[in-house]
């Protein structure tokens, strides 16, 4: 890891936090009109998308930490590809929150810093564990997004389309990690990850 890598990652981090993510793919289609939703439905959708936006900030930081800590070129490429798709998620979530009249989480810088450290630590454990961590993260996010699909109003086609597209991408990231040789994490580690994620999702739902 050279100073160039660090500067590059720093730049990505600042862009993530400054709220200027660039979506490469267009936002998934769906009814654009939030006025079709009741105020309560709109508020709930904005809160759920704030949680997802925060999750995507964390994803960026995790991948950056993991890529910084790894010397494996193939793994770095996979992380960068996944991070690009996550950047679409970040941009879509941000746009949808704005449409719904909500705001992003105030604590994003804090979650970003914590996730960067966790990603770096995972990366230092070696490629198989690094990939195992990636796979488990994606699996948990996939399940979490299913929970949101269950909670979102049936009439909120636009938010649902975004969440469903994210969910498909996360499943793809998990498969990529698997194909590259992810090691299955021990159950207590998975549970610890879920516990940390629970704190993040609970707090960002409100703040």
152 vs 150: CA distance, rounded Å: 6
Contacting range for Fe ion; rule: CB under 5 A; set: 30-38, 95-103, 106-114, 133-141: 133-141
What binding mask, one character per residue, do residues 51-90 give for Fe ion by CB under 5 A, x or -? Answer: -----------------------------------x--x-
Query: Phi first, then psi: what are they for 30, rounded to 5°?
Result: 160, 165
Size of the site for Fe ion (CB under 5 A): 5
d(CA 102, CA 200) in angstroms, rounded, equals 18
Instruction: Give the other-Cβ count within 10 Å of 95's Cβ.
Output: 16
The answer to whether residue 50 forms part of the interface with Fe ion (CB under 5 A) is no
Comparing CB distances to Fe ion, the nearer of 9 and 170 is 170
- Considering the complex, state which of residue 37 and residue 173 has its C-beta at the smaller distance from Fe ion: 173
* Unique residue bearing structure tokens 């996944």: 82
Residue 72 makes CB contacts below 8 A (sequence gap 6+) with 127
Check residue 42 and give left, alpha or beta (phi > 0: left; psi -120 to 50: alpha): alpha
For residues 83 and 77, give the distance between their C-alpha atoms in angstroms, rounded to a whole number. Answer: 10
Q: State which residue, 37 or 174, has the beta carbon closest to Fe ion.
A: 174
Residues 85-124 as x/- pattern, contact with Fe ion by CB under 5 A: -x--x-----------------------------------
Which residue in the block uniquely carries the two structure tokens 């929150």? 97
Q: Tell whether residue 170 is a contact of Fe ion (CB under 5 A).
A: yes
Identify the helix (H) or strand (E) that includes residue 157.
Answer: helix 157-179
**Nearer CB in complex with Fe ion: 37/97:** 97
Segment interacting with Fe ion (CB under 5 A) among 11-19, 23-31, 73-81, 130-138: 130-138
Among positions 173, 176, 185, 200, the unique one binding Fe ion when judged by CB under 5 A? 173
Q: Residues interacting with Fe ion, by CB under 5 A?
A: 86, 89, 138, 170, 173
């Amino acid at each position: 890891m050279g100073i160039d890598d660090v500067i590059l990652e720093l730049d990505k981090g600042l862009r993530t936090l400054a709220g200027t993510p660039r979506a490469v793919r267009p936002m998934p289609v769906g009814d654009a009109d939030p006025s079709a939703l009741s105020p309560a439905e709109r508020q709930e959708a904005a809160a759920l998308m704030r949680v997802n936006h925060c999750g995507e900030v964390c994803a960026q930081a995790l991948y950056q930490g993991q890529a910084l800590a790894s010397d494996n070129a193939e793994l770095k490429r996979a992380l960068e590809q996944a991070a690009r798709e996550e950047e679409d998620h970040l941009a879509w979530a941000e746009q949808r929150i704005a449409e719904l009249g909500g705001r992003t989480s105030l604590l994003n810088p804090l979650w970003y810093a914590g996730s960067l450290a966790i990603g770096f630590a995972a990366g230092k454990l070696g490629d198989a564990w690094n990939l195992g961590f990636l796979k488990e993260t994606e699996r948990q996010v996939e399940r979490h997004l299913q929970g949101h699909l269950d909670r979102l109003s049936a009439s909120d086609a636009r938010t649902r389309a975004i969440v469903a597209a994210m969910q498909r991408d996360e499943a793809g990231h998990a498969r990529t990690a698997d194909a590259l040789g992810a090691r299955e994490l021990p159950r207590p580690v998975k549970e610890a990850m879920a516990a940390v994620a629970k704190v993040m999702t609970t707090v960002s739902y409100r703040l």
